[in-house]
C-alpha cells in the first residue's frame, strides 16, 4: 500500500500528463473501489459504473490536488461511498452478487472453494447495517486505517472502532455455522 | 455448546474476499477517461477563475479611477477659474459642460450666477 506522499506524487505526475501514473493509480485504486462498490451495491454492473465514475472524478480533480490534503485513495473511497449511497437511495436493497474471481494459478476446486468463501462473506456482509458493513469492508478487506475510515464515513475514530467491532461480532455469528462446509479447519474454541 | 468463528477464521473469510481482479474492459475504460482528461485542456481552477475575474476588473477600475480624478480636478479646480483667465480649450470644455447641465439644473453660465 502506497503512502500518502506516493499517491499524491502519482496524481501530480498524472496532472502533468504522465499516463503511466494513471495506469499505476488505476491498478492501485480501481480493484479496491470495485470490490467496495460491489459489496455496497450488490450489483456488479453498477459497481463498475461507480468505479469508473470515481476514477473519472479523480482524473478531473488531479490538477487541483494540493499536497497535505487527504490521501487520494481516501478521497476516492469517500467519492465511491457517496455514489453508492446515492444509488442505494434510489432503489431497494438487494442481495450482493458474487464478484468474479479469476485466478489462473489455483486449481478449479480451490477456485470454487475461494469463491464459495467470498460468497459466504458477501452474504453475511449484506446482512449488516450499512455503516457497519462500510466500516468492516474498509477496515478488514481494504485495509484502511481507522482515521482514514473516519474521514470517509465522516465520523470519529471511536465511532469507527465501535462500528467495526459490532460488525465483526455479527459476522462471526453469521459465519459460525459455515466454517467446516467452507473448508476451514474445525479446531476451535 | 455454541460454536463460534474465531477472529482468525474471520480473517480467512476477509482474505477470500480480497481476490477480485479489475476486468480488462473496465481498466481500459478508466484509462481512456484518463487519456481524455490529459488531452483536454484542464478546466481552470477556482483560483485561476478568481484571478481572471479580478484581472478583468483591474483595467476598468484603473480607467474609472483616472476618469474620476480628472473630473474631480476639473470640477474642483478648473471650473472655479474665471472664464476670462481660462485657456481656450477650457472655454470649449465649459461650453460642453453647460450644454449638459443647463437642461438639468438650469444653470447657464457660472459667471452669470456670480461664481
Question: Which of A47, A59, A180, A185 would you mutate first to test chain B, the one with the most B CBs within 10 A?
Answer: A59
Residue B5 contacts A, CB cutoff 8 Å: yes
Give A-chain residues touching B44 at CB under 8 angstroms: none
Residue B113 contacts A, CB cutoff 8 Å: no
Residue B50 contacts A, CB cutoff 8 Å: no
pLDDT of residue B115: 55
Q: From the CA of A25, how many Å to the nearest CA of chain B? A: 10
Alpha-carbon distance values, A16 to A13, A20, B36 (Å):
5, 11, 13
B104 versus A27: the higher-pLDDT residue is A27
Q: Which are the contacts of B19, defined by CB distance < 8 A and separation ≥ 6?
A: A101, A103, A114, A118
CATH number, span A1-94: 1.10.1740.10
**pLDDT of A138-158, one tens digit each?**
998 888 889 999 988 888 889
As assigned by CATH, the class of the A106-189 domain is mainly alpha
Whether A1-94 and A106-189 share one fold: the answer is no
Q: What is the pLDDT along chain B (115 residues), one digit of tens a residue?
A: 444 455 666 777 777 777 667 888 999 999 999 999 887 666 677 887 777 777 777 777 888 888 898 888 878 777 776 666 767 777 777 777 777 777 776 656 666 666 5
* Span A86-94, average pLDDT: 74
| CB contact (8 A) between residue B17 and residue A121 | yes
| CB contact (8 A) between residue B31 and residue A34 | no
Q: From the CA of A33, how many Å to the nearest CA of chain B? A: 10
Computed on alpha carbons and rounded to an integer, the radius of gyration of chain A in Å comes to 18
Alpha-carbon distance values, A161 to A128, A143, A167, B59 (Å):
15, 14, 10, 57
The ranges assigned to domains in chain A are: 1-94, 106-189
Q: Which residue reads 465511491 in cell numbers?
A: A80
Q: Which residue reads 480480497 in cell numbers?
A: B18
Amino acid at each position: 500500500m502506497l503512502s500518502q506522499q506516493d499517491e499524491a506524487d502519482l496524481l501530480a505526475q498524472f496532472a502533468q500528463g504522465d499516463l503511466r501514473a494513471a495506469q499505476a493509480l488505476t491498478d492501485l485504486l480501481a480493484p479496491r473501489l470495485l470490490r467496495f462498490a460491489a459489496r455496497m451495491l450488490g450489483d456488479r454492473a453498477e459497481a463498475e459504473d461507480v468505479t469508473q465514475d470515481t476514477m473519472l472524478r479523480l482524473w478531473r480533480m488531479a490538477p487541483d490536488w494540493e499536497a497535505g490534503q487527504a490521501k487520494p485513495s481516501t478521497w476516492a473511497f469517500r467519492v465511491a461511498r457517496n455514489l453508492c449511497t446515492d444509488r442505494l437511495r434510489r432503489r431497494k436493497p438487494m442481495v450482493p452478487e458474487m464478484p468474479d474471481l479469476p485466478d489462473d494459478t489455483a486449481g478449479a476446486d480451490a477456485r470454487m472453494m475461494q469463491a464459495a468463501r467470498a460468497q459466504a462473506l458477501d452474504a453475511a456482509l449484506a446482512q449488516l447495517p450499512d455503516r457497519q458493513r462500510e466500516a468492516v469492508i474498509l477496515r478488514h478487506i481494504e485495509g484502511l486505517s481507522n482515521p482514514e475510515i473516519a474521514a470517509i464515513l465522516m465520523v470519529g475514530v471511536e465511532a469507527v472502532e465501535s462500528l467495526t467491532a459490532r460488525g465483526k461480532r455479527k459476522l462471526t455469528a453469521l459465519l459460525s455455522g459455515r466454517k467446516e462446509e467452507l473448508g476451514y479447519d474445525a479446531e476451535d474454541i | 455448546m455454541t460454536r463460534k468463528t474465531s477472529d482468525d477464521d474471520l480473517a480467512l473469510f476477509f482474505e477470500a474476499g480480497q481476490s477480485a481482479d479489475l476486468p480488462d474492459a473496465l481498466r481500459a475504460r478508466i484509462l481512456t477517461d484518463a487519456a481524455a482528461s490529459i488531452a483536454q485542456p484542464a478546466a481552470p481552477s477556482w483560483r485561476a477563475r478568481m484571478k481572471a475575474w479580478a484581472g478583468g476588473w483591474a483595467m476598468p477600475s484603473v480607467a474609472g479611477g483616472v476618469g474620476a480624478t480628472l473630473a474631480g480636478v476639473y470640477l474642483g479646480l478648473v471650473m472655479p477659474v474665471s472664464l476670462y483667465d481660462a485657456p481656450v480649450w477650457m472655454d470649449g470644455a465649459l461650453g460642453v459642460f453647460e450644454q449638459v447641465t443647463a437642461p438639468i439644473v438650469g444653470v447657464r453660465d457660472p459667471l452669470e450666477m456670480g461664481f
